[in-house]
Amino acid sequence: MNFDELSCYKCKSGLLPGHSYASIVKVAWGIFKRISSQTKRRPYVRSVYFKNKKIFLDNFWPHLMQKNPTERKFRLRFFQGAIELIKNSLHRPTLEKKNVLHHEILYRFLGKSSEKYFIVQIKMDLKRNQYFFMSCFEYEK
């Protein structure tokens, strides 16, 4: 992945507090519940980069549960910063066609919390013209 300092969104929020998976998931789930309580249907946030389109958040949790508990803990620490990045970032992401039939595009945004760099991955389904927040994870230069 080719990122530079100019394409990095600097988050105001830091990493989620906690040392164990149980303590971090409580905070992350609280943030998710607050967002999902604002809508009657599927939880979403609006993105400035995608011209105020909805980015659905419900695919994040099943994707996260496929990882082992240690990896979940490291990914969840970036959850609050990832939501902030999705809402506010205007920086250009990297693009990657994922599906063999080219029905999906992956957008990868680079963010920086107070301590670490991280990547937010958003999938666009070209058939339905919808965006999904898939993952966030640490970026090592």
Going 39 to 41 to 45 to 48, the CA torsion angle's sign is negative
CB atoms within 10 A of CB 4: 7
The pLDDT value given to residue 108? 93
The pLDDT value given to residue 49? 95
In the chain, what are the domain boundaries?
13-138
Residue 6 above 70 pLDDT?
A: no
Burial 100-122 (b: 16+ CB within 10 A, else e): eeeebbbbbbbbbbeebbbbbbb
Q: For 5-20, what is the mean pLDDT?
A: 86
Q: How far apart are the C-alpha atoms of 28 and 57, rounded to whole Å?
A: 12
Q: How far apart are the C-alpha atoms of 118 and 29, rounded to whole Å?
A: 19
What is the helix (H) or strand (E) element at residue 31, kind and residue range? helix 21-36
The pLDDT value given to residue 13? 87
Q: What is the pLDDT of residues 59-108, one digit of tens each?
A: 999 999 999 999 999 999 999 999 999 999 999 898 887 666 678 889 99
The pLDDT value given to residue 45? 96
Q: What angle do CA 121, 127, 128 make, to 5 degrees?
A: 75
Catalogue the E-assigned strands of 1-141.
8-10, 44-47, 53-56, 94-97, 104-112, 117-125, 130-138
Q: What is the pLDDT of residues 23-65, one digit of tens each?
A: 999 999 999 999 999 989 999 999 999 999 999 999 999 999 9
Q: What is the pLDDT of residues 112-123, one digit of tens each?
A: 988 789 999 999
